[in-house]
Amino acid sequence: MTYKTTRKVRIGNIEVGGDSRKTVQTMWKKSLDLFSGEDLEEILNLEDVGCDILRFSVPNFRTAGILAEIKRNINMPLVADIHFDYKIALECIKNGIDKIRINPGNIGDEWKVKEVLQAAADKNIPIRIGINTGSLDKTFNDISDKAEAMLKSAESEINILEKYNFTNALFSLKSSDIESTLRANREFSRRWDYPLHLGVTEAGPLTAGLVKSSIAISQMLNQGIGDTIRVSLTDKPIQEVIAGREILRACGMYANGVDIVSCPRCGRSTFDTHEFISSVYDELYRVKKNLKVAVMGCIVNGPGEASDADIGITGAGTKVVIFKHGKIYRKVDENKGREEFLKVLEEFVR
C-alpha cells in the first residue's frame, strides 16, 4: 500500500502527519463547568489505555480558564473546540492550548479567522479545520452532493489559510453518511497534503457507531489516507479510544498493547468468558507491551487458541487452565482464575 505523504504537524508532544505513527483521539463528554478531581483521574486513565489527543468543548471564557488549569496537570495534548466566538479561540491560544479546532461554518467573518490564524502562528499552535455536513457555511447549503459541499468548503478555507501564509493546519471532512465521508476524504487527499483527521460524525450508539466508523475509517486507512482518527460514539470516551486502537490494530498500524482473542460463548462453555473479560478489561487495556491474550470458554477451541497466545485462560469443567507462552502453566478452581491470570499478566508487564 502506498501511503499519502502529508505535511507534519506538532500537537503538544505528539507529531501528526508525514511519517508519524497514526494517533487516536477522543472528546470529553461533560461540561467543563462540572470538572472535578474524579474527572482528572478519568483523563489519566484515558491516557493509560492509549488516548493520544483529547478535545474539549470550550463555549465561553470561564471554560477556557478551566481548560488552562487542566492542561497544567496533564501531559497528553489537549485541544480546544471553538464555535461561534473567535475571541474564545484567542483566549485559549493565549493560555497555551496545544491545538485549536474551529468550524468554518460558524466562526464568523474572514477577519475573525485572520486574527485566530495570526495568534496561532505566533505561538506555533496548529489549527484543525473541522468540516461537517451538518454545519456547513450557508454558502454551500445549496450543493446537494454532500461530499462536493465539504470539498468546496475545504477549498474556501485553504484559500484563506494560504492568503495569510498559515501552513500549520489539519483538516477533517465528516458526515454521518459513510459514502459521502469516503468520497470527500479521498478527493481531499488527492488534491492537498494537509494531514487528515478521520471519522464519521454522529455515528450513533456503541454497536451502530462501531460498525459505521470501522467501515469508513478502515477503508480510508487501507487506501493510504489519514493521519489521526476519532471514533465518535454515543458512549464513554474510553470506548472511543479502545475502538480507535482496535481499528488501527486491525489495519496493521498499532503495535503496542494487548491483542485479545476471546470466545463468544456457546452451550459447551464451562467458563463465563463474558464476565471474565469484563473483570479484567481495564487491566488488559492499560498494558503497553505487545501481547496476545486468549480467553476461551471450553476445551474445543480453547487449547488451540491459547497455544498461540502469550497468556491464555480456558474453561475445563469446574476449573480453568491458565496458559503461559502457549503451554499449560496452572490449573485452578474457577473462582481463583482471575487472581492467577492477573499474576501471570503482571509477570509479562514488569
Binding-site sequence positions for [4Fe-4S] cluster = 263, 266, 298, 305
Pure H helices in 95-138: 110-122
Distance from C-alpha of 38 to C-alpha of 69, rounded to nearest angstrom = 15
260-279 CB burial, b ≥16 within 10 A, e <16: bebbebeeebbbebeebeee
Q: Which residue type does 141 have?
A: N
342 burial type by CB count under 10 A (0-12 exposed, 13-18 middle, 19+ buried): middle
Cell numbers at 21, concatenated: 505513527
Helices (H) and strands (E) in the chain, counts: 11, 15
> Which residues contribute to the annotated binding site?
263, 266, 298, 305
Longest alpha-carbon distance in the chain: 72
Distance from C-alpha of 60 to C-alpha of 316, rounded to nearest angstrom = 58
